[in-house]
Amino acid sequence: MRTIGLIGGMSWESTAEYYRILNERTRERLGGLHSAPCVLYSVDFAEIERLQVQGRWAEAGELLAAAARSLEAAGADLLLICTNTMHKVADSVEAAVSVPLLHLADATAAAVRAAGLRRVGLLGTAFTMEQDFYRGRLAAGGLDVRVPDSEGRALVHRVIYEELCLGVVRDASRAAYRRVVEGLVAEGAEGVILGCTEIELLIGPEDSPVPVFPTARLHAEAAVDAALTQ
């Protein structure tokens, strides 16, 4: 099995989920006491979040590219950026290393297509829902992507940064997310992409009348499958 490199810490709450899922998937595939060979570079999310808010994406990209080079030097054979939003700088990360980067949106689009769906709702940070770097990648993968209205987008974004990234999970926020999901379904969404890795801490299949696609889980499972493919 090849070694998986993780660029994490954005936030560490969801990076911890990545680590758990990587090892669970490896045990499912290989059995016994097997676990995933991996290396982690965990950044300071406060610094990344400040650059996001200030629109200094090139600098954020340089930080993640440096992390990627460190992971390659540590023996990583393939890389994951353990956050949807920071795939905005995926090209910078990819250009910094010679090992492959497994793009989160590609893994997600593949799972949606495998489920026989095309029209999906997208929940995530405002950056992910409103900018083209992620929606465009999903569209290139054959999906018709819908996002909540401005009020819904603001709610989803606020809960991510003010609650979930801090490890706070509130029933009131779960109920609010359910209403946002119901709105997307009413507009024709056949499934809903949980396009922020922290959202999986709040809602799951039981909170949606249509299939949900948990991006952290899909990304981590695809990484294990890729690492086991020679």
Of 38, 196, 197, 215, catalytic: 196
CA count, 13 A, side-chain hemisphere, 18: 34
Residue type, 122: L
- Annotated catalytic residue 83: yes
CA distances from 97 to 68, 81, 87, 106, 107 (A): 7, 13, 15, 19, 20
Q: For residue 209, give the H/E element and its range.
A: none
Planar angle of CA 42, 47, 50, nearest 5 degrees: 140
- Annotated catalytic residue 165: no
User: The tokens of 3 are what?
Assistant: 């070694």
Instruction: Output phi, psi for 4, to 5 deg.
Output: -95, 130
Of 15, 83, 85, 125, catalytic: 83
* Residues acting as catalytic residues: 83, 196
